[in-house]
Structure 1
Amino acid sequence: MSGADGGARRSQAFRLPGRHGYAVEFSPYLPGRLACAAAQYYGIAGCGTLAVLEQNEAGICLFRSFDWNDGLFDVTWSENNEHVLVTSSGDGSLQIWDTADPTGPLQVYKEHTQEWDPTVGRSLCTFKGHEGIIYSTIWSPHIPGCFASASGDQTLRIWDVKTPGVKVVIPGHQAEILSCDWCKYDENLLVTGAVDCSLKGWDLRNVRQPVFNLVGHTYAVRRVKFSPFHATLLASCSYDFTVRFWDFSKPNPLLETVEHHTEFTCGLDLSLHNHGQVADCAWDELVKIYTPSCLAAPV
């Protein structure tokens, strides 16, 4: 299904004037709260903004905003404090913010000299092996201390904080890999999204061939997320301005295409609290919260 709203139901939008969205994430604690990392001038120059938004019956309102002197390109919530967020910036630094403290970052960590490769402060461990920009990292939700990384060197790599060196190297695409995610229901299954416009699934027990290959996007896949509620469902957003929903267990895996942005769609998340609810953000200054038709009823 596609169209101006792509079939999306109960859609709400919030505009960040002069800010171009790069990442959005629902709070794991508060059902109506989400954060967006954004940048001026499409992230090429200027400052960045972290916008903390609240959803209510009237729509989406700004709860708190914080500015940084360089573009903000990613954001995540702390897993042990409902008020704390971490952002990453184009100046190579990480910022820790407290929504209860509007004065500025609690702390700034800087070990990197370039963007897109965040680790924290005086790092406990440094992992080397990639031969290109690292665009995405994700902790395993199943195996403590295990994480995956996706890189411009065209590989997906699996690491363990307890052992030095990379555990698994997967030459996933013949293009830069911009995003990866771990399935919430299968400790061996990951997905990658790449500049070649495809999404590929990988079973860590046999990485010679992907277990699925999803095609349909017409430009680079910027971010991919597995559903927290369905073992075989995932979502992706792209520089083709669309968000697409897939079920890789079906003969025709593309469930729905949502076309409600007019610029690169960079940020995407699925709510842990509200079944079927999705948030995305794009370079068109808009953050949108909606329920796509394919998630409005049991899949």
Structure 2
Amino acid sequence: MNQLLLDRSTGAVGPNVFARLQTTRLLKSFQSWPQYRFDGGERGIAVHDGEASSSDAATSIWAHQAGVSALALERFDGRILVSGGSDASLKLWDLEQCGNPSKPHTFKPTSTIRPSPQTHKFGITHLSFYPFDSAAFISTSYDQTLKLWSTEEARLSASFSLGSKIYTHAISPVASHLLVACGTQHPAVRLVDLRSGSSIQSLTGHGGAILATAWSPRHEHVLATGSVDGTVRIWDIRRAGAFIAMLDHEDSLGLYHNGLLRENGKVRMRVSAKAHVAPVNGLTWTDDGSYIISAGHDNRIRVWDAATGRNTLANFGPSIRNSQLASVSMFTSPVGLTHPGRELLFWPNETEILVCDLHNGHIITRLRGTGAAIAGVRSSKKSERSVKNRISSIVWRGAGGGGGSSGVIRAWAPRLEGSDEDVDEDSTHEVGEAKAQKRKALDNIYKSLMGQKITFT
């Protein structure tokens, strides 16, 4: 770090390069931030191996005691976090409640929406904020409905019934249209227009339920969807048929190479083309729209060139775990924080978060929660319920964050040089001993040299 500061002061490193080098170092140094806790007001006793946990005076703090199933963070100020539970409840959190970020703080929900006939009845599957205004957010549930909410009043604004279980939804971050792409148990992708309040279009072609949807951040009419049949389809909703391409894991050249582009302008592709050999439940784009990242139950993550559709052959190794029949929330580091071609992928790997190099798949670090995994919850009514400690959703706020099906929301932050956490009694004692040993060795060498008689012949 000192050398980098010297290079910056002498002009050997420009301000942009300096900023990217520093932010890259911070991105690779994430650690658990246990002083931030989220208390949803529910009480219960954490049970592990049949015995009550003593980690928190036998009573644990839960965001959603039934389990956190989805998270969403508004992207303008990064202030409002909304969480959804497996019990159909919704909670809003103000992340600016903490006055001093360096001190411990327990967040309380500013609003709580409980299950009722007017709200959701079953578990929340996906959450997202209105693309251009944090005043509204969208939720979907296993109760077959998509709902639009007022953030400030925590009040229902509109509800849409799609007639099938909804696994995921997506709304374009750049489009002027207000179309929400919904992935349901039905093999057709449903497009819901928030402006007109109707389901205006269905995109047919998949051979099974839709588990992943993602709009392009560059082209407002381009949509990618993934299905249980292992296919990833690309759509242009302006066209009559909408379908324009399929991703093929055996294609490392791209659609526009080797004469695959016909004279009439149409692209030739294999009918049996598949992105994965198992259900696809994860899709995302890089912020600049250059790459598509897909994930499937074959425990593979693949990176695709969005311009040509070619498989970049990035290999993430055998450590990837992906078994949940639900949409997986993953994201890449924002463009500009790292050098081009050095973006990082944050992947929820069951009980840990993997930070990987997006283009070669190397694992940079593993983010693991502190403490034992929770095997159950014993409520105040003496009833006990099984809970699996699995990461179900992650969101990005510059300092990271994650929620688990165990009902706890954890925060992650980069390690800062010279922070108090880096200096403890044990480390200070070890450093002191090392210095004493080096000093003693130097003294012995000095004495042996000075004590030796030198004769001349």
Residue 184 of structure 1, CA deviation: 0.9
Residue 150 of structure 2 aligns with an amino acid whose one-letter code is D
Question: Normalization by structure 2: what TM-score?
Answer: 0.56
Residue aligning to 1:30 = 77
Q: Which runs of 5+ in 1 are unaligned?
A: 1-5, 41-47, 295-299
Residue aligning to 2:31 = 8
Higher RCO, 1 vs 2 (CA within 8 Å, ≥6 residues apart): 1
Secondary structure in structure 1 of the residue aligned to 2:329? strand
Residue aligning to 2:314 = 212
Relative to structure 1, is the Cα distance of residues 248 and 82 closer, same or farther in structure 2, using a 3 angstrom cutoff? closer
Farther off after superposition, 87-96 or 9-18: 9-18
Q: Decide which of 139, 148, 159 is 1:108's aligned counterpart.
A: 159
Q: Decide which of 333, 339, 344 is 1:227's aligned counterpart.
A: 333
Secondary structure in structure 2 of the residue aligned to 1:213? coil
Once superposed, what is the RMSD of the aligned Cα atoms?
2.3
Residue 284 of structure 1, CA deviation: 0.4
Matched, 1:77 2:179: no
Residue aligning to 1:297 = none
Matched, 1:54 2:164: no
Residue 402 of structure 2 aligns with an amino acid whose one-letter code is D
Distance 1:281 1:38 in 2: 10
Residue 50 of structure 1 aligns with an amino acid whose one-letter code is L
Distance 2:354 2:107 in 1: 23
Relative to structure 1, is the Cα distance of residues 17 and 188 closer, same or farther in structure 2, using a 3 angstrom cutoff? closer
Secondary structure in structure 1 of the residue aligned to 2:315? strand
Residue 66 of structure 1, CA deviation: 1.4
Residue 127 of structure 1, CA deviation: 1.0
Q: Which runs of 5+ in 2 are unaligned?
A: 1-28, 39-61, 99-104, 115-119, 169-181, 183-190, 248-273, 374-388, 417-457
Distance 1:190 1:256 in 2: 22
Q: Decide which of 177, 192, 211 is 2:294's aligned counterpart.
A: 192
Tell me, yes or no, if the aligned pair for 1:23 and 1:281 is still in contact at 8 Å.
yes
Residue aligning to 2:145 = 93
Distance 1:282 1:83 in 2: 26
Distance 1:217 1:183 in 2: 20
Relative to structure 1, is the Cα distance of residues 105 and 200 closer, same or farther in structure 2, using a 3 angstrom cutoff? same
Residue 94 of structure 2 aligns with an amino acid whose one-letter code is E
Farther off after superposition, 158-167 or 59-68: 59-68
* Pairs aligned (count): 274
Relative to structure 1, is the Cα distance of residues 188 and 31 closer, same or farther in structure 2, using a 3 angstrom cutoff? closer
Secondary structure in structure 2 of the residue aligned to 1:64? strand
Secondary structure in structure 2 of the residue aligned to 1:214? coil
What are the Cα deviations for residues 46-90 of structure 1, in whole angstroms up to 9, with x where unaligned? Answer: xx0121112232342212121321211100000133220100010
What are the Cα deviations for residues 164-209 of structure 1, in whole angstroms up to 9, with x where unaligned? Answer: 2321112211111111100113x33100122122211011344353
Structure holding more strand per residue: 1
Relative to structure 1, is the Cα distance of residues 33 and 155 closer, same or farther in structure 2, using a 3 angstrom cutoff? same
Distance 1:208 1:79 in 2: 29
Residue 169 of structure 1 aligns with an amino acid whose one-letter code is M
Distance 2:395 2:284 in 1: 11
Structure holding more helix per residue: 2
Q: Decide which of 387, 402, 411 is 1:289's aligned counterpart.
A: 411
Residue 219 of structure 1, CA deviation: 4.0
Residue 90 of structure 1 aligns with an amino acid whose one-letter code is Y
Distance 1:180 1:147 in 2: 11
Distance 1:17 1:9 in 2: 20
Identity of matched residues, %: 16
Farther off after superposition, 200-209 or 154-163: 200-209
> Which structure has the larger Rg over C-alpha atoms?
2
Tell me, yes or no, if the aligned pair for 2:32 and 2:367 is still in contact at 8 Å.
no
Residue 101 of structure 1, CA deviation: 2.1
Residue aligning to 1:244 = 354
Residue 82 of structure 2 aligns with an amino acid whose one-letter code is A
Residue 401 of structure 2 aligns with an amino acid whose one-letter code is A
Residue 9 of structure 1, CA deviation: 4.5
Tell me, yes or no, if the aligned pair for 1:111 and 1:122 is still in contact at 8 Å.
no
Tell me, yes or no, if the aligned pair for 1:53 and 1:63 is still in contact at 8 Å.
yes
Residue aligning to 1:21 = 68
Residue 126 of structure 1, CA deviation: 1.6
Question: Normalization by structure 1: what TM-score?
Answer: 0.83
